[in-house]
């Protein structure tokens, strides 16, 4: 069955008694026991809730994993996964990753003696060279945020197997609709479900999918123990959003390719990062390992003063953080989403004062290009 169909069907099978097409919102903290030493399978909503379980089972099916887990945010999901490691452990991490993840690693978990080395995870030799006796995992974003690099997961998986490392893939930008990271060798997939999976900028959530049952038991232990679980209302919103994942991403990708080509031809744009363009260095690899190129674009303009003009002059396109919703959003990574990355690293990566990030929505593509056109026009 195709991923788009699987997504539509999430939760449909739940209520066999009434035949309800939508899973109910089980807004309850606790569950009554049928007898001493007996359970319905649900006892306390931190440990398990039927609405959340429906979402967790659904994302596991979409991603081809043995078990899924839902958290109160994407950052809560990453935090919970870091409990798999102990003091002294070392992780290799994508260098151009979301600034909030960098903050979590360097300013929170560093104080517990976890160490992180940032490398270009599209460079397999660089990953290999960064491995030490203390290395326990490779954490990769694919696509990366905001520069849209695409790692070779099968090659990274081979390296990880040789050194007995976990391969953890943040697949937020592509979702299972465009890439199933577990099929390509990852052990764990992470999603900020706030983004494309929920898809409507109306809820915050994180999801994790695990391939191996024994590892999944460890992840569940930490999810239940730490308790940063997703509430039933938000779980229901993510389920509802996932049902339209396929049609939304199809439209968003179509718009993104048109806009990327338009930007590439604009005289005030000096560089466009979009893997759907044939000149993108990872274009061919994505054709091999993914079913599309996503709907995120980064681009550089020819002078800093144009950044504020574009952010404030667009009318349909909102100046806002986050991404993946039906509305098109634009942000300035250097001072917003990636402000927590050290300035010297930002400069080396190219996250500079002329770089903008565009999350393309489902509006009419002509209207979006018209909005950008008028925003680029000089002020009278």
Task: Measure Cα distances from 357 to 194, 234, 323 in Å.
Answer: 17, 27, 9
Peptide bond into 376 cis (omega under 30): no
Residue 195 catalytic? yes
Q: What is the mean pLDDT of residues 301-313?
A: 95
Residue 170 catalytic? yes
The CATH architecture annotation of domain 245-376 reads Alpha-Beta Complex (3.90)
Between 162-171, 349-358, 368-377, the lowest mean confidence (pLDDT) is in 349-358
Q: Which of 46, 268, 271, 313 is catalytic?
A: 46
104 SS3 class: helix
Percent of the chain with pLDDT over 90: 86
Confidence of residue 47 (pLDDT cuts 50, 70, 90): very high
Q: Supply the mean pLDDT for the chain.
A: 95
Residue 218 has pLDDT above 70, yes or no: yes
Question: Can you tell me the distance from the alpha carbon of 297 to that of 330, in angstroms, rounded to the nearest whole number?
Answer: 10
Question: Can you tell me the distance from the alpha carbon of 256 to that of 372, in angstroms, rounded to the nearest whole number?
Answer: 13
Q: Which of 61, 149, 195, 248 is catalytic?
A: 195
Give residue 124's region: left, alpha or beta (phi > 0; psi -120 to 50): alpha
CA 348 to chain centre: 23
Confidence of residue 96 (pLDDT cuts 50, 70, 90): confident
Six token digits for residue 155: 């090659």
Residue 276 near residue 315 (C-beta atoms within 8 A): no
Six token digits for residue 229: 């679980």
Write down the domain spans for the chain: 3-242, 245-376
Reported as a single tens digit per residue, the pLDDT across 112-126 is 999 999 999 999 999
**φ, ψ at 138 (rounded to 5°):** -115, 125
Fill in the DSSP letter of residue 298.
E
CA angle 65, 63, 122 (to 5 degrees): 105
Question: Can you tell me the distance from the alpha carbon of 195 to that of 248, in angstroms, rounded to the nearest whole number?
Answer: 12
Reported as a single tens digit per residue, the pLDDT across 68-84 is 999 999 999 999 999 99
Same fold, 3-242 and 245-376: no
Q: Which of 63, 89, 170, 282 is catalytic?
A: 170
Confidence of residue 59 (pLDDT cuts 50, 70, 90): very high
Reported as a single tens digit per residue, the pLDDT across 249-299 is 999 999 999 999 999 999 999 999 999 999 999 999 999 999 999 999 999
Q: What is the mean pLDDT of residues 362-369?
A: 98
**From the CB of residue 226, how many other CB atoms can be counted at a distance below 10 Å?**
14
Reported as a single tens digit per residue, the pLDDT across 15-27 is 777 888 899 999 9
Question: Can you tell me the distance from the alpha carbon of 47 to that of 3, in angstroms, rounded to the nearest whole number?
Answer: 28
Q: What is the pTM of this model?
A: 0.95
Reported as a single tens digit per residue, the pLDDT across 152-189 is 999 999 999 999 999 999 999 999 999 999 999 999 99
Six token digits for residue 268: 């005030």
Question: Can you tell me the distance from the alpha carbon of 223 to that of 217, in angstroms, rounded to the nearest whole number?
Answer: 10
CATH no., domain 3-242: 3.40.640.10
265 SS3 class: coil
Residue 32 catalytic? no
68 SS3 class: strand
Confidence of residue 340 (pLDDT cuts 50, 70, 90): low
Reported as a single tens digit per residue, the pLDDT across 242-254 is 999 999 999 999 9
Q: Which of 63, 71, 96, 98 is catalytic?
A: 98
């Amino acid at each position: 069955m195709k991923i788009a169909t699987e997504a539509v069907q999430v939760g449909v099978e739940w209520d066999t008694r009434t035949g309800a097409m939508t899973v109910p919102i089980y807004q309850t903290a606790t569950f009554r026991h049928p007898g001493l030493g007996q359970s319905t399978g649900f006892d306390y909503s931190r440990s398990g809730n039927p609405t959340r379980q429906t979402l967790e089972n659904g994302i596991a099916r979409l991603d081809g994993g043995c078990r899924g887990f839902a958290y109160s945010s994407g950052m809560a999901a990453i935090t919970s996964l870091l409990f798999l490691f102990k003091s002294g452990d070392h992780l290799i991490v994508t260098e151009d990753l979301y600034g909030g993840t960098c903050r979590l690693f360097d300013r929170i978990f560093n104080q517990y003696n976890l160490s992180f080395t940032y490398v270009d995870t599209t460079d397999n030799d660089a990953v290999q060279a960064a491995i030490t006796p203390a290395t326990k995992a490779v954490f990769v974003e694919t696509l990366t945020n905001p520069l849209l690099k695409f790692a070779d997961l099968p090659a990274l998986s081979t390296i990880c197997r040789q050194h007995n490392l976990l391969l953890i893939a943040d697949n937020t930008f592509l979702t299972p609709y465009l890439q199933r990271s577990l099929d390509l060798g990852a052990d764990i997939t992470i999603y900020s479900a706030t983004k494309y999976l929920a898809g409507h900028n109306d809820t915050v959530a994180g999801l994790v999918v695990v391939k191996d049952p024994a590892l999944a038991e460890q992840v569940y232990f930490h999810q239940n123990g730490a308790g940063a679980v997703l509430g039933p209302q938000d779980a229901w919103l993510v389920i509802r959003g996932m049902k339209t994942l396929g049609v939304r991403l199809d439209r968003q990708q179509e718009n993104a390719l048109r806009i990327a080509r338009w930007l590439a031809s604009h005289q005030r744009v000096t560089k466009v990062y979009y893997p759907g363009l044939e000149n993108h260095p990872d274009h061919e690899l994505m054709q091999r390992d993914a079913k599309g190129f996503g709907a995120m674009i980064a681009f550089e303009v020819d002078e800093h003063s144009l950044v504020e003009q574009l952010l404030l002059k667009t009318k349909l396109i909102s100046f806002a953080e986050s991404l993946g919703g039906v509305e098109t959003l634009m942000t300035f990574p250097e001072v917003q989403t990636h402000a927590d990355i050290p300035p010297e690293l930002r400069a080396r990566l190219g996250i500079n004062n002329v770089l903008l990030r565009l999350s393309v929505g489902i509006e009419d593509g002509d209207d979006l290009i018209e909005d950008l056109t008028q925003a680029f026009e000089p002020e009278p």
